Every structure is written in C-alpha cells, then in structure tokens.
Amino acid sequence: MNFSSKLLEEAVSALSSLPGIGKKSALRLALHLVQDESGKSKRISAALESLSRGVRKCNVCCNLSDSDICNICSNPGRKNQTVLCVVENARDVMAIEDTNQFSGKYHVLGGVISPLEGVGPSDLSIGRLLDRIREERIEELIMAISPTIDGETTIYYISKLLRDSGIRISVIARGVSFGGDLEYADEFTLGRSIVSRIPYQVQT
C-alpha cells in the first residue's frame, strides 16, 4: 500500500497486528476513525489505555480482573464452592457464565499443553490449580477444555497428577464437537454439556 500519511500508515500497521485483522480491514478502520468527528477515536484510545494499565490476573483463579480478586472468586453466593471448572482462558469463563448453568468456581490455565508450540505444564497455572484443590478442599474438577488433541493432552496430564487424590474429575459432554473451541459453541449446547458432564477415566 502507498500511504500519503505516515501517521495513517503507522495506525494501519498497529491495527493489522491484531488477530483476524488484515491490512485492508485495518485501513478501513483507520480511515473511519480519521473521518469520525464524534470523538470515537479518543474514547477507544482511552479505553485501550485503561485496559492496558488496569486489567490483571486474579490472584485466586487467574481469570482477568480489575482487582486482585475477581468478582466470581469474591462472590460468596456461588452455590457450588467445592466444584472447580478448569478452562483455558478468560473467554471460556465468559462463555460458560453466559449459559447460567454453572454456579461453582473457575480456574484459568492460560492455555493448553502444546509440544509443537513449545507450551509445557510449567507454562500454565497447573501448580496453582493443585494448591487450590488442597487449600479450598475441592471435591470435583470439571475439565471444560476445548476437545482438541492439545486439550485432551492437558486433561490427561492433570488427571494423572490427581489420580490418587480422590478428586472426582469430569469432562463436559461431547455436545461440543471434537476439534472445536468452546467460545464458538452456542449457549444452549455449552450449557447442556456442563450439566451432562461425564466422569473422566485415566488410561493406565
């Protein structure tokens, strides 16, 4: 692309660095912001600055939060305090919360074990998960992890660590298709998968 403005070129370059946004989409967004007179670009800039400075990981569950402890962990009204739903990321927490079918607590791993991408157990919050199980007297883990090869590997690894712990481990029912991501499942299917979860068996 031949840009008449260096500032426009830099804005397009920054926008196109975001996932799912190509150069043409970035240019369309940048031109829209330049031509907008409602102050939208300033509001977006301020929101992104606040996001960068203010959002952190919850000290308990590793979910994204505005404070040291997120609103889910600090909510005493959650009914199932001994049930922990293990997910990959904050998007999965939002997706499950939207179903209104789960009233326990969460633990966000921060990804899945993926040897091809160089992600091992130490790169995830598995150690923190084990500490929580002991400290909070967790009775059941629901492994709400996307049914992919890496997801299955992660479930197997954690389940093997807890094989002799007496913790009940279950996985979401396969209304969610293998190879899919939880965030793309509709609320009804995901909610039914949580309610109809099945025990997980560690293969020896």
- 11 versus 146: the higher-pLDDT residue is 11
pTM recorded for the entire structure: 0.78
Does residue 11 carry a pLDDT above 50? yes
Domain-located, residue 31: yes
CATH code, domain with 35: 1.10.8.420
Domain-located, residue 59: no
Query: Of the given ranges (29-43, 119-133, 173-187), which has the lowest mean pLDDT?
Result: 173-187
Same domain, 76 and 143: yes
Same domain, 49 and 71: no
Same domain, 95 and 187: yes
Count of the separate structural domains present in the chain: 2
Domain-located, residue 189: yes
Domain-located, residue 81: yes
d(CA 168, CA 96): 20
Average pLDDT (69-80) is 92
Same domain, 77 and 157: yes
Q: What pLDDT is stored for residue 186 in this prediction?
A: 59
Q: What pLDDT is stored for residue 195 in this prediction?
A: 62
Q: What pLDDT is stored for residue 99 in this prediction?
A: 87
Non-local (6+) Cβ contacts of 170 within 8 A are 140, 141, 142, 143, 197, 198, 199, 200
Same domain, 86 and 120: yes
Which residue, chain included where needed, has tokens 């150690």?
Answer: 127
Q: What pLDDT is stored for residue 147 in this prediction?
A: 80
Is residue 174 very low, low, confident or very high in pLDDT (cuts 50, 70, 90)? low
d(CA 25, CA 29): 6
CATH code, domain with 83: 3.40.1360.10
Domain-located, residue 111: yes
Q: What pLDDT is stored for residue 149 in this prediction?
A: 87
Same domain, 121 and 27: no
Q: What pLDDT is stored for residue 178 in this prediction?
A: 44
Range of the domain at 37: 6-54
Sign of CA dihedral 92, 93, 99, 103: positive
Dump pLDDT digits (tens) for 134-153.
999 999 999 999 888 899 89
Average pLDDT score over the chain: 88
Q: What pLDDT is stored for residue 204 in this prediction?
A: 56
